[in-house]
Amino acid sequence: MTETRTQTAHPHIDWDTAGLDLDAYHHRIGQSLRPPSPEALFALHEAHVRTIPFENVDVVLGRTPSLRLADIAAKLVDTERGGYCFEHGLLFAAVLDRLGYDVTRGVARVRFDQPDAEQTHLVLLVRTEGERFLADVGFGAGPLVPLPLRDGARTDHGGWPFRLRRDGGFWLLENPDPEGDWRIAHGFDETPQRHIDYVVGNHYIATHPDSAFTGRLVVMRKDRDVHRKLVGDRLVVEYADETPREVTTVEPGDLGDTLRSLGIVVTGDDLARLSEVYAGSSTE
């Protein structure tokens, strides 16, 4: 295995990645951990997104997810669970650090139809072989592979189109809306973040009543050609081609099996409590 290294572009920041079990991560995503290259980065990114779900189960249960790397790994790597952007991003950044990539941890403002939304989405800027890429494993509905950090860069990998556009000092990640028009998913600059910056954002996302992740379940599993998401009590299956999307209502008694189908195992008291909260929520 390659030598441990810190974030070389910002050596004053210690992300405490030395204790991460790379072998366990390799077994979790089923992807070999190769020396840094664009090809290896793309393969690793896609394997992570397709294997580890996006989910907010802990938040719905009234818990604030820990951003300690050991806790993130115990949840996302050692069990059949997922997480949201801070957990995914910090885990993936640690893996890249350990493999020898030059990683800058950044933050984005999720836009869609909310231009004044909070700046609470973790993004990674990764340099390898002289080129920088946006790596965004924790967006839930994001790209399967990185995008080169250059104006007009585009990917259609897996049938899901995304592009990057430069707007002044910001980068805008865009994808088509249901009508096929490009819309802004999120925007970010290249300012490096510290761990405490994510702690603040994590607190807001996990506890604030205006957060999109408090009060309702949000689970996403993206693959080539198909994207499955459970939002509130609605399970939506979207296809990359012209196949009409499928929408079904999931009853509380079917919640455990539905979560399993999305790669998440919740049992015992947690499932009972989650089902209670779930039964009292609905998708607007």
Domain chopping of the chain, boundaries: 22-198, 214-279
pLDDT, residue 4, reads: 42
pTM of the predicted protein model: 0.93
Per DSSP, 224 falls in state S
Crossing angle of helices 85-99 and 22-29, in 10° steps, is 120
Whether 33 and 44 have beta carbons less than 8 Å apart is answered as yes
Q: Is residue 177 scored above 90 in pLDDT?
A: no
Q: Is residue 171 scored above 90 in pLDDT?
A: yes
The per-residue pLDDT for range 247-264, each reduced to its tens digit, is 999 999 999 999 999 999
The third-level CATH classification (topology) of the domain covering 22-198 is Arylamine N-acetyltransferase fold (3.30.2140)
**Active site residues per annotation:** 85, 121, 136
Spatial separation of the C-alpha atoms in residues 116 and 67, rounded to whole Å: 25
Tokens representing 244 are: 């009409």
In sequence order, the 6+-apart residues with CB closer than 8 A to the CB of 79 are 265
Whether 236 and 228 have beta carbons less than 8 Å apart is answered as yes
Whether 170 and 77 have beta carbons less than 8 Å apart is answered as no
pLDDT, residue 115, reads: 66
Tokens representing 232 are: 């509130």
- The sign one gets for the Cα dihedral 139, 143, 148, 154 is negative
Q: Which stretch of 29-38, 86-95, 110-119, 270-279 has the lowest confidence by average pLDDT?
A: 110-119
Q: Is 3 exposed, middle or buried (0-12, 13-18, 19+ CB in 10 A)?
A: exposed
Q: Are strands 170-176 and 162-167 parallel, antiparallel or unpaired?
A: antiparallel
Q: How far is CA 130 from CA 96, 102, 148, in A?
A: 16, 10, 11
The per-residue pLDDT for range 265-281, each reduced to its tens digit, is 999 999 999 999 888 77
* Amino acid in the structure at residue 149: L
Please name which of 17, 8, 255, 251 lies closest in space to residue 126, comparing C-alpha atoms. Answer: 8
Tokens representing 264 are: 């998440």
Tokens representing 175 are: 């994808």
Residues 134, 139, 143: CA angle, nearest 5 degrees: 55
